[in-house]
Amino acid sequence: MSKPKAVIHDLDGALCDTSSVVHFVDKTHKDFTRKDLDAFHRGSMDCPPNQFLTEEWLKAKNDGVKCIVLTGRPEKWRRETTWWLMRNGFYADHHIHRMDGDKRPAYVVKEEVLLELQEHYEIVYAYDDDPRVIAMYERNEIPHYQVPGWPLLNGAPILPATEEKDDGEAMGLVAA
């Protein structure tokens, strides 16, 4: 028996257009004062959905493909995240957060989840803005789309200063 098809959607910077709150986490932003993930996540509740990804979500749903939200947000933000998803018409078949206190890089957490999901689904596509997550999808031969908007400095992606301090997709960012 074949597995159901599924698409993985990242949340912050992908489904959720966080451009209006990125100054809470992007050190290169002109309005950055200090890294504040809680302010970023609270502020994202008022952010609009990404129109392109909204259309892609609807196409997948109309084609009978399962839609999975895989976010680097900690579990403590589940209620607010569920509210945002439902308010914007994203009724996910699965909605997966990182565990509270998990400080590993998003690409490590997401790869673990991907391998578990592949036991139950044929993952046909993935959307994310983090270049390291995109590289992970490439290694796992998952078709993908890198959502524009990841911070750049001199044309290079801005990445976390240390892997150990990656406590979500919205990170304190430094030049790579």
**Listed residue (158, 156, 137) closest to 146, CA to CA:** 137
pLDDT tens per residue, range 97-129: 999 999 999 999 999 999 999 999 999 999 999
Q: Whole-model pTM above 0.85?
A: no
Tokens linked to 169: 């997709």
Residue whose pair of structure tokens reads 């909605």 in the numeric block = 95
Tell whether the torsion through CA atoms of 123, 48, 78 and 91 is positive or negative.
Answer: negative
Pairing verdict, β 5-9 and 66-74: parallel
**Mean pLDDT across the chain:** 84
**117 CB-near residues (< 8 Å, 6+ apart):** 6, 8, 68, 94, 123
pLDDT tens per residue, range 17-49: 988 877 677 666 666 666 777 777 888 889 999
pLDDT tens per residue, range 64-94: 999 999 999 999 999 999 999 999 999 999 9
Q: Does domain 5-175 have CATH number 3.30.1380.20?
A: no
